[in-house]
A and B are shown apart, each in its own frame.
Chain A
């Protein structure tokens, strides 16, 4: 089974801090995605990457950046965390065929105080 591992289950950070959320997958998938999930808003795509060093903006990229230096790792960076970035963050992967759908990680619940 594909495993998508997010480094932290829960994080509490202060306003203005630089925050790194890490996602690692072990099945050689080309495509990786970062979503945030908020009550009443569903899942919203922040950024995605279809190859090493490649990145594309999703629907809500403002306030975020990403890094993909290795195929298995996709990092989401909050340059200066704000309280409105308090959310559940979900990483997902698919292979290039996209036949089998997304595999999601368990999520990181980030609280910015």
Chain B
């Protein structure tokens, strides 16, 4: 299974943009790039996913490198509610997803 590498933790100020990186040098051609986040005491929550092109939704943007070996989740204006663990996951079939340790995002007021 293709694995991802994320920083253990990051810090951001409220109202500022946050760029969460993810490296996935062994990604295969059929792997989608998925992002989930887990708020304290809750199950993970879907954020966004993409294959080759950059993607935007109401929660975030996903920027995918041209060679697909890395991607960046962008939160345009961090709020305190965005403090969570963010997981970058590769996969095509959901039964093959690998959730690693993720990046713990701390948002300072």
Contact = CB atoms under 8 A, between A and B. Distances in A.
B13 interface: no
A27 to B, nearest CB: 14
Contact of A90 (B44, B46, B95, B102): B44
Contacts, number: 52
Contact of A100 (B42, B46, B93, B97): B46
B49 interface: yes
B99 A103 contact: no
Given A101-B49, A107-B42, A94 B100 contact: no
Size band of the A side of the interface? 20 to 34
Nearest to A92: B43
Interface residues of B, number: 19
Nearest to B93: A98
A110 B98 CA distance: 22
Residue with the highest number of chain B CB atoms closer than 10 Å, among A35, A42, A58:
A42
Contacts of A58: 95
Residue with the highest number of chain A CB atoms closer than 10 Å, among B43, B94, B101:
B43
A48 interface: yes
B95 A43 contact: no
B42 A106 contact: yes
A75 interface: no
* Nearest 8 CB-CB pairings of A with B: A104-B43, A43-B99, A101-B46, A42-B99, A90-B43, A42-B100, A104-B44, A48-B95
